[in-house]
A and B are shown apart, each in its own frame.
Chain A
């Protein structure tokens, strides 16, 4: 174990070096670029034996990863924003082929207008693609999620691809002090790859990518959905093993001063760090506020979320993406729907925030908590879906 000060992207590149996948196929895009830049240096320096495939687009990056994974290789890639959008059709195919490809998604706004800064519209758009999605508050969590993602995706009960999401620039380009495991510890934790059935096994020939029409497509999708459900206990079990190794504990979400809170704010990724400071300030003044930071968005840990939130007076869900559905962001609609069957359920409101990298600071989050506290005292919401920090 070593303590280093690196940017989020450098930390993730080191994680990939330690994992040493058989194949990495990637195309550069801001703010992911230096993940693959640093990884390509590791390849050039002989630090890894990985076959590094420089492709002409992200569609080709994912296609090459799918081809290699179908050939029995452990594969990784990384992308952001338009890159993920360009991958689109093959992202779904990786999941339906049940290939445990791990992809770092450095969250960046989708065009247009063209923008290179952080929001979650890229990975949120892929929330129904059949990939497991892990979210990270900081570089340490991005690294820890990356290592665990290999074990989660490759687990025989799961066999699904995993996105490891973290905030573009805010985390990807800011230097933090993080703890890296020793190379040998990572290798031992992930173990050798068992690809199961694959195309380069001439003794057991298979067909991959066969047509499945109205008589069998539905059954395949149902089985895929079940694999996503089975991922939840696997994610918990892998986190328990990882805690023994690293001393850092993870679950499907982090509850921060949540147990006795009357007002809970739910927010993903780096903004959760700012929100924790606001919780501390408000707690010092006696306000019963807390934070729930989802780590696993797909599969959605419904019963765990309901157990943690149902007894609150007010839940304020923050979305760094707008679904453009006129009923709030994706995290909001999922959490509000999850709470519907609860006999006692809180008022649930939504703030869309931080689009295109709009900074969301302590004052913005204080406003959100204060609105939650006002509602908890019996105030009426003006709107269920609100926009935070946009100029009127």
Chain B
């Protein structure tokens, strides 16, 4: 992508195209851990969907379907809030670690 020169900047730094945050993949600078989703333990309470500050939790028909790592900053709030007793349905793992079939933290 070629970035615009200074003559093309919008005065005042205004952004004129609403909804453009989608273009900025905050997951590019995720911290050292990423969330792993274990669907077999998930109770689909959607607490993670409520708490995720970047809207990374993917939901279809009221059920969680995965985690969009393109926007995940690795904050770990989803794993912290997951109410499942014992082994939680979302756990945090170091980048690049094998996922053992867990979804969301798919191979990178």
Contact = CB atoms under 8 A, between A and B. Distances in A.
Q: Most B CB atoms within 10 A — which of A99, A205, A223? A: A223
A212 B15 CA distance: 11
Contacts of A227: 11
A262 to B, nearest CB: 43
B7 A223 contact: yes
Interface residues of B, number: 13
B13 interface: yes
Interface residues of A, number: 23
A203 B9 CA distance: 22
Contacts of B5: 219
B3 A197 contact: no
B48 to A, nearest CB: 26
Contacts of A391: none
Contacts of A212: 13
A197 B14 contact: yes
A204 B15 CA distance: 11
A97 B9 contact: no
Contact of B6 (A99, A206, A215, A223): A223
Given A222-B6, A226-B6, A210 B15 contact: yes
Contacts of A222: 6, 9
A207 interface: yes
A195 B55 CA distance: 35
B11 A223 contact: yes
A96 B3 contact: no
Interface of B: 3-7, 9, 11-16, 18
Interface of A: 96-99, 159, 197, 204-210, 212, 215-216, 218-220, 222-223, 226-227
8 shortest interchain CB distances as A-B pairs: A207-B15, A222-B6, A219-B6, A98-B12, A223-B9, A206-B14, A98-B11, A97-B12
